[in-house]
Amino acid sequence: MTAIYDKFAKQYQASKRLPFREYIEWYSYNKLLGDISQKSVLDLACGEGFYTRRIKQKTAETVVGVDISEKMIRLAKQQEENHPLEIDYVVSDVMQLGKIGSFDLIVASYLLNYAQTKEQLLKMCQTISANLKPGGRFVSINNNPDQPPESFPVCEKYGFTKRISGPLKEGEAITYEFFRGGQKFHFDNYYLSTKTHEWAFKRAGLNLIRWHKIEVSPDGLKIFGQEFWQDFIDYEPIVGIECLH
Ligand SMILES: C[S@@+](CC[C@H](N)C(=O)[O-])C[C@H]1O[C@@H](n2cnc3c(N)ncnc32)[C@H](O)[C@@H]1O
């Protein structure tokens, strides 16, 4: 698998300034994470470390970030050099990572939606399982497989679009395009049903699977108003996932 994020690492970093990132994505993710003080955490598909740093700042004991893109990891390491948080970063494809430790918590925001087949999804889940302590937790924010394609156009007002060329079918590409400050970039995620995800989790030994609805933070509601967020809430382009090992 090629590291497509090498091509637009900086632009992706800038997309983290879109309001939905703070007021929905991080708010929902952070709520799912809960209290992680003294926990050892592995962040898979950590990108340039945007959430990896926040997780370390939430007083996690140790944090390791892994990403397939050298450029994303370079950006993460630069920030680690400028403001050391004692985070370790590793370049690797999650599917090839193997066991690098035994963690209390594994997080992955927008990793699973890169699996193009159920076999690839299973490999990702097996890496998660191999690196989790017994009783450990997996938490993720991901593309929502259940968002109906007819509702994809609602994403535009939040700074991105989602497109698919036909009906939802296993392995079908969903093209995300971000536009901000005149800088456009796009990439493909892949559709795999919730049923396929549940199959892969269970097969890899991840149980008590829960799909969590995203929420808007009180600040987001105060600044932009309920009406602005209503389509995001109604059509849920992204979703939270939690499993136990
Ligand atoms: C949408 S970005 C998310 C980055 C970060 N988790 C965040 O939420 O800001 C997706 C990341 O997944 C990485 N990625 C995609 N497939 C991967 C794989 N098989 N192994 C490791 N990283 C992968 C990409 O390089 C990219 O940095």
> Which residues have CB under 8 Å from 32's CB, separation 6+?
139, 141, 212, 240, 242
What pLDDT digit, counting tens, does each position of 143-168 carry?
Answer: 999 999 999 999 999 999 999 999 99
Residue 6 reports pLDDT greater than 90? no
**Domain 4-144+192-244 falls in which CATH fold?**
Rossmann fold (3.40.50)
Name the amino acid, one letter, at 193.
S
Q: How far is the CA of 90 from the centre of ligand 1 (A)?
A: 12
pLDDT (tens digit, 9 = 90+) per residue, 77-103? 999 999 999 999 999 999 999 999 999
Ligand 1 centroid from CA 130, angstroms: 19
CA distance 217 to 230: 13
**Whole-model pTM?**
0.96
- Between 129 and 4, where is the model more confident? 129
Residue 10 has what pLDDT?
Answer: 81
Per-chain mean pLDDT for the chain: 95
Asked if pLDDT for residue 1 goes beyond 70, the answer is: no
pLDDT at 213: 97
Q: What is the pLDDT of residue 181?
A: 61
Banded model confidence at residue 12, pLDDT cuts 50, 70, 90:
confident
Is the distance from CB of 217 to CB of 23 less than 8 angstroms?
yes
Distance from C-alpha of 75 to C-alpha of 91, rounded to nearest angstrom: 12
Predicted pLDDT of residue 17: 86
Q: Given a cut of 90, is residue 15 above it in pLDDT? A: no
* Nearest protein CA to atom 11 of ligand 1, as residue: 45
- Matching residue, tokens 């050892």: 40
Q: How far is the CA of 163 from the centre of ligand 1 (A)?
A: 19
Among 126, 120, 151, 141, which Cα is nearest to 45's? Answer: 141
Bridge partners, residue 132, by sequence: 103
**Strands in 46-131 per DSSP E:** 62-67, 87-91, 103-109
107 within ligand 1 shell (Cβ under 6 A): no
Is the shortest distance between the CB of 72 and ligand 1 below 6 Å? Answer: yes
Tell the residue nearest (CA) to atom 13 of ligand 1.
Answer: 45
Please state the rounded mean pLDDT for residues 222-230. Answer: 97
Residue 182 in this model has a pLDDT that exceeds 80: no
Does the pLDDT value for residue 60 go beyond 90? no
